[in-house]
Amino acid sequence: MQYRIGNGIDSHRLEKGVPLIIGGVSIPFQKGSKGHSDGDVLFHAIVDAILGSLSLGDIGNHFPSDNPRWKDADSRLFLEHVSKLMNETGYSVENVDATIILQEPVLSPHILLIRKNISAVLLVDLEQISVKATTTDRLGFIGRGEGIAATASVLIKK
């Protein structure tokens, strides 16, 4: 078997009047993640991790923000696309480990559904998907409630 590892990171500004979508879940909150697509930092980080593990560039190469086709797009489409690319090369996900960095709201009530969404798109068991959430203890742009970030690591195997 061949194994490969990829890492991804994404961050976005938080703005009032914009939906907060994380891992395909709409989270009730007064601010949301502003992006060219739906701003789903978690899906974006996982997409970049998978693309990195395959040496296929990054999310901007595949879904450029200057392309109107991706304006307000559901980021699930991005994850489905890279999952298909991965499967076409004979690889599959062994596991995903991701962290959402956000001062508020509390994400623990949503983590299971987020994990289910990821496992459904990547066609893997729920136990292969780890999603955690943390704050920055009010430090920096995330701590001030100005933004959100996510990191993801993936292990794929052939």
**How does the average pLDDT of the chain come out, rounded?**
94
User: Position 88: which residue type?
Assistant: E
- pLDDT above 80 (res 112): yes
Q: How many domains is the chain partitioned into structurally? A: 1
- pLDDT above 90 (res 1): no
Taking residues 7-19, report their average pLDDT.
96
Taking residues 3-24, report their average pLDDT.
97
Can you give the CATH number for the domain in which 34 is found?
3.30.1330.50
Lowest mean pLDDT among 31-35, 110-114, 115-119: 31-35
Q: What is the pLDDT of residues 54-86, one digit of tens each?
A: 999 998 887 877 776 767 678 999 999 999 999
Q: What is the pLDDT of residue 38?
A: 87
Q: What is the pLDDT of residues 79-111, one digit of tens each?
A: 999 999 999 999 999 999 999 999 999 999 999
C-alpha–C-alpha distance, residues 112 and 126, integer Å = 9
pTM here? Answer: 0.95
> What are the strands, taking DSSP E only, across the chain?
3-16, 20-22, 25-27, 31-34, 92-101, 129-134, 147-157
Taking residues 30-44, report their average pLDDT.
92
Q: Which domain holds residue 49?
A: 3-157
Angle formed at CA 155 by CA 81 and CA 104, multiple of 5 degrees: 75
Nearest to 25 by CA among 158, 118, 132: 118
